[in-house]
């Protein structure tokens, strides 16, 4: 996480005099006057700005693995492979804006792809508690989605995330969020996105701004040792309901039909199971003896995701849903163990009916971190289910995640 | 009307914080909470960490975001001690008052010179701070300067109470100087003693009192004591006389205990900050307790 070294001057938005008795005209005049004054003050301040040191943060994440078998809903194939190799640059741009760029190198079907995962600006000096983010960024819905995958405790995101959010949902858009001035942490936010990654098959006339979200998180400390956070999120996806036509579906027995072919061309980060309305509830509890996270700590996380109104053309109340529960215990400064269980059930549209698909996943991992910057992880995954390709009982993955450069933030 | 509004605007730009009742202070560590209370007794002061928590390893948790959201000033050690969590809190709390090091973000390390500055830093060196050792609250002379700077900063942010802050800093300073003389007298027997420490936590304190640090339990800053490194300290103990092994109130005692037993040298936990031991209730009793404990642990040799 970058240092926010924003320079000396911040515009005081409350500094404009308010006098309810002044006429409209004089109010307008006064406003223009104060704008000029503010602009002049900003120009004057910008010379002082140079004095504060400018130190952009550079980071490179190296992430690679060996996987013993192919598995369902996975980005990674059997054998050696690269995960999220990321290059990031971030810094405060001036006293008002912070900027971040993250580029990701992907290996997909033996092709190397470079894509921009984050390229956003965020305000630093809006009046208390308000902030705006614009550009390409990770949506703040749910618990895991807003976090970077390289700080995860398991090799891949839970099955529900992989199926419903394309592992992690990021997109081009804008966010407005507000932190309440309460003793208990409480934030609310809303986002609007293009929504290409969340577009369902067969949508004839997709909207250019297709996804809207609203989320709230509350949290706090029970005491010095125990901290918690709860979140509720809603995602409205105008292009999320699939539209399939019966006449296209003449060969019933052909499983590779339609959706599979289409999604073959899609990017691996597109969500496969979408719908008009998605709801997410999440809970986190963390514990460390004396609140000292260095030596030992425990993190319990759970999330539930549900998507309704999944098709415009097929009648029925089918909904996609999934959850996971995760527990990670850092036993010593260098060793951690974790277990995660998750389920996903979703429906793929085929002509005039749905195909049900189910996946249950149990994962166990042991990780060793030599320093803040280096982690090696061994994970065992057991999958059972129906309808997915490559459902595999036993998968062993050996992974490394290492970072060069900027120190990673200890996000909750 | 125009002139009036212009005047109003200019004054409100120059004095962004109007004369509020009291400041709300977010301190990163307990020592800065204690110092803030000395300078601004009427302030609402919150410490993000306790002396039992390693400030390198704090989580940017919701409880801290809500506290920073309401702060007028954030008082921290700086020199990258809080780099893992403070920027995340600043961003998430979206509080414009505490973003700039020239306004509501006060780093103690910006006010004084640090020791142990490094020209070149590479990651193989461990968790080192290129900006120098951040544990500077344990140098009484630096503390005096920091107290003065903090009072000036608080006065700039809250001009209505300017006189009070400056007067309190002066009072603190006079009292502190009196204690420095006492401490230097009391700690005289510590001069020339050889200590093994866990990390560079007490470097300022030990340099001040003329105590030598002959080894660290950590093989490299931030890395836990390894058996190989402990063995090398043990073999060193046969050649170099070690008076005591010390570690901070948030550090694991296993390595210290092992070496203590094998080398026959006493080991002791020292309060890292206010609240790190039963006796350290404020800055003065923290220094008192540190000296008392060091005298006790080195007296046997």
In chain A, whose CA is at the least distance from the CA of B6? A34
Inter-chain residue contact A128 with B95, CB threshold 8 Å: yes
Residue A87: strand pairing partners: A60, A103
Computed over every residue of chain A, the mean pLDDT equals 84
Residue range A347-361, pLDDT digits in tens = 998 888 999 999 999
How many residues can be counted in chain B?
301
**Are B22-182 and B187-299 equal in CATH topology?**
yes
Residues of chain B positioned with their CB less than 8 A from the CB of A6: 99-100
Q: Which of A95, A221, A370 sits opposite B63 (nearest CB)?
A: A221
Ramachandran sector of residue A66 (left: φ over 0; alpha: ψ -120 to 50; beta: rest): beta
pLDDT at B91: 94
Q: Identify the burial level of A358 via C-beta atoms within 10 angstroms of its C-beta, where 0-12 means exposed, 13-18 middle and 19 or more buried.
A: middle
Of A179, A186, A412, which has the smallest distance from its Cβ to B60's Cβ?
A412
Whether B2 and A411 lie within 8 Å, measured CB to CB: no
Chain B closest-CA separation from residue A126 CA (Å)? 6
Q: How far apart are the first and last CA of chain A?
A: 13
Q: Are strands B267-270 and B244-248 parallel, antiparallel or unpaired?
A: parallel
Whether residue A286 and residue B99 make contact (CB cut-off 8 A), yes or no, is: no
> Is pLDDT of A142 > 60?
yes
Higher pLDDT, A8 or B187: B187
**How far is Cα B126 from Cα B128, in angstroms, rounded to an integer?**
6
**Interstrand relation of B244-248 and B194-197 (parallel, antiparallel or unpaired):** parallel
Q: Do A3 and B96 touch (CB under 8 A)?
A: no
Residues A305 and A323: their CA atoms lie apart, in Å, by: 6
pLDDT of residue A366: 98
Angle in degrees, 0-180, between the axes of helices B162-186 and B30-39, rounded to the nearest 10: 120
Q: Is the pLDDT of residue B244 over 90?
A: yes
Average pLDDT in chain B? 91
User: Chain B partners of A409 at a C-beta cutoff of 8 Å?
Assistant: 60, 84-85, 87-88
| B15 touches A: beta carbon within 8 Å | no
Assess whether pLDDT exceeds 50 at residue A23: no
User: What is the pLDDT confidence band of residue A246, given thresholds at 50, 70 and 90?
Assistant: low
Tell me the CATH architecture of domain B187-299.
3-Layer(aba) Sandwich (3.40)
Distance from CA of A401 to the nearest CA of B (A): 15
Query: Mind telling me how many Å the CA of B105 is from chain A's nearest CA?
Result: 10
Residue B123 binned pLDDT confidence (cut-offs 50, 70, 90) = low
Does domain B22-182 correspond to CATH entry 3.30.70.260? no
Least confident range of A30-44, A210-224, B213-227, B274-288: A30-44
For residue B37, give the H/E element and its range. Answer: helix B30-39
Pairing verdict, β B244-248 and A57-67: unpaired
- Domain A56-405 is classified in which CATH homologous superfamily? Porin (2.40.160.10)
pLDDT at A232: 98
The rounded percent of chain B whose pLDDT value lies above 70 is 92
Q: What integer pLDDT is reported at residue A411 of this predicted model?
A: 86
Band of the pLDDT at A30, cuts 50, 70, 90?
A: very low
User: What pLDDT score does B14 carry?
Assistant: 42
Q: Are the beta carbons of A128 and B85 separated by less than 8 Å?
A: no
Q: Which residues of B touch A186 (CB under 8 A)?
A: 66
Q: What is the mean pLDDT of residues A60-86?
A: 93
Place of tokens 């390893």: B57
Say whether B65 and A179 touch across the interface (CB within 8 A).
yes
Asked whether residue A264 carries a pLDDT value surpassing 90, the answer given is no
Of the candidates A124, A180, A221, which has its C-beta nearest B99's C-beta?
Answer: A124
Contact between chains at A4 and B87 (C-beta distance less than 8 A): yes
**From its phi and psi, is residue A67 left (phi > 0), alpha (psi between -120 and 50) or beta?**
beta
Chain B nearest CA to A1, separation (Å): 6
Give the whole-angstrom CA distance, residue B298 versus residue B213. Answer: 13
Q: Greater confidence, B8 or A152?
A: A152
Mean of pLDDT values over B6-32: 66
Q: Name the more confident of A45 and A71.
A: A71
| Helix (H) or strand (E) run with residue B168 in it | helix B162-186
pLDDT at residue number A256? 40
Give the minimum alpha-carbon distance from B51 to chain A in angstroms, rounded to a whole number: 9
Question: What does the pLDDT read at residue A393?
Answer: 83
Spell out which residues of chain A touch residue B60, defining contact as CB-CB under 8 Å. Answer: 1, 409-412
A322-341 pLDDT, tens digit each:
999 999 999 999 999 999 99
CA distance A380 to chain B (A): 28
Pick the more confident residue, A242 or B15.
Answer: A242
From B248's Cα to the closest Cα of chain A, the distance in A is 12
Q: What average pLDDT does the segment B3-24 reach? A: 51
- Is B101 close to A410, i.e. CB distance below 8 A? no
The domain locations on chain A are 56-405
Chain B, window 218-257: residues with a beta carbon less than 8 angstroms from a chain A beta carbon: 222-224, 250, 252
User: Rounded mean pLDDT of B90-114?
Assistant: 95
Mean pLDDT across the stretch A65-80? Answer: 94
């Amino acid at each position: 996480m970058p240092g926010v070294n924003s320079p000396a001057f911040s515009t005081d938005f409350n500094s404009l005099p308010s006098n309810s008795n002044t006429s409209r005209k004089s109010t307008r005049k006064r406003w223009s006057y104060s704008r000029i004054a503010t602009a002049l003050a900003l120009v004057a301040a910008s010379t002082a700005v140079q004095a504060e040191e400018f130190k952009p943060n550079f980071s490179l994440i190296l992430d690679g693995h060996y996987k013993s078998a192919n598995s369902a809903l996975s980005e990674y194939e059997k054998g050696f492979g690269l995960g999220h190799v990321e290059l990031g640059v971030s810094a405060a741009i001036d006293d008002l804006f912070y900027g971040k760029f993250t580029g990701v190198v992907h290996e997909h079907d033996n092709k190397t792809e470079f894509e921009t995962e984050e390229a956003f600006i965020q305000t630093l000096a809006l009046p208390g508690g308000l902030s705006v983010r614009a550009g390409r960024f990770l949506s703040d819905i749910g618990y895991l989605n807003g976090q970077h995958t390289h700080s995860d405790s398991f090799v891949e995101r839970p099955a529900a995330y992989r199926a419903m959010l394309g592992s992690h949902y990021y997109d081009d858009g804008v966010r407005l969020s507000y932190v309440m001035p309460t003793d208990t942490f409480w934030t609310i936010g809303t986002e609007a996105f293009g929504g290409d990654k969340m577009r369902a098959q067969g949508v004839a006339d997709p909207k250019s701004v297709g996804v809207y979200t609203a989320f709230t998180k509350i949290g706090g400390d029970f005491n010095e040792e125990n901290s918690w956070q709860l979140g509720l999120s809603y995602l409205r996806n105008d292009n999320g309901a699939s539209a399939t036509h019966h006449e296209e579906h003449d060969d019933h027995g052909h499983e590779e039909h339609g959706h599979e072919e289409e999604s073959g061309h899609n990017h691996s980060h597109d969500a496969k199971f979408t719908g008009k309305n998605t709801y997410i509830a999440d809970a986190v509890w963390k514990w460390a003896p004396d609140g000292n996270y260095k030596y030992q700590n425990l993190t319990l996380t759970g999330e539930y995701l549900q998507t309704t109104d999944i098709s415009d053309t097929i009648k029925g109340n089918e909904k996609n849903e999934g959850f996971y529960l995760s527990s990670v215990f850092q036993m010593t400064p260098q060793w951690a163990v974790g277990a995660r269980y998750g389920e996903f059930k979703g429906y793929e549209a085929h002509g005039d009916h749905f195909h049900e698909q189910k996946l249950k996943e149990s994962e166990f991992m042991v990780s060793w971190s030599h320093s803040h910057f280096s982690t090696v992880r061994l994970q065992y995954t057991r999958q059972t289910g129906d309808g997915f390709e490559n459902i595999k009982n036993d998968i062993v993955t050996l992974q490394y995640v290492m970072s060069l450069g900027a120190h990673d933030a200890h996000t909750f | 009307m125009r002139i009036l509004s212009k005047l109003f605007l200019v004054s409100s730009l120059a004095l962004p914080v109007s004369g509020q009742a009291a400041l709300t202070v977010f301190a990163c560590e307990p020592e800065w909470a204690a110092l803030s209370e000395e300078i601004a007794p009427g302030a609402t002061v919150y410490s993000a960490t306790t002396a039992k928590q390693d400030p390198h390893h704090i989580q940017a948790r919701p409880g801290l975001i809500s506290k920073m959201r309401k702060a007028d000033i954030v008082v921290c050690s700086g020199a990258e001690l809080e780099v893992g969590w403070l920027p995340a809190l600043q961003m998430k709390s979206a509080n414009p008052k505490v973003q700039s090091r020239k306004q509501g973000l006060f780093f103690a390390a910006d006010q004084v010179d640090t020791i142990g500055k490094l020209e070149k830093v590479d990651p193989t060196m461990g968790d080192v701070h290129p900006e120098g050792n951040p544990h500077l609250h344990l140098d009484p002379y630096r503390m005096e300067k920091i107290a003065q700077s903090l009072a000036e900063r608080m006065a700039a942010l809250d001009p209505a109470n300017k006189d009070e802050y400056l007067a309190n800093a002066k009072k603190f300073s006079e009292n502190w100087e009196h204690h420095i003389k006492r401490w230097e007298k009391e700690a005289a027997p510590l001069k020339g003693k050889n200590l093994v420490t866990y990390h560079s936590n007490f470097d300022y304190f030990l340099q001040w009192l003329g105590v030598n640090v002959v080894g660290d339990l950590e093989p490299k800053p931030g890395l836990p004591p390894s058996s190989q490194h402990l063995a090398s300290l043990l073999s060193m103990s046969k050649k170099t006389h070690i008076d005591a092994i010390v570690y901070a109130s948030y550090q694991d005692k296993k390595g210290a205990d092992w070496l203590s037993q094998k080398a026959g040298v006493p080991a002791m936990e020292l309060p890292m900050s206010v609240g790190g031991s039963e006796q350290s209730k404020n800055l003065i009793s923290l220094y008192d307790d540190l000296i008392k404990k060091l005298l006790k642990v080195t007296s046997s040799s």
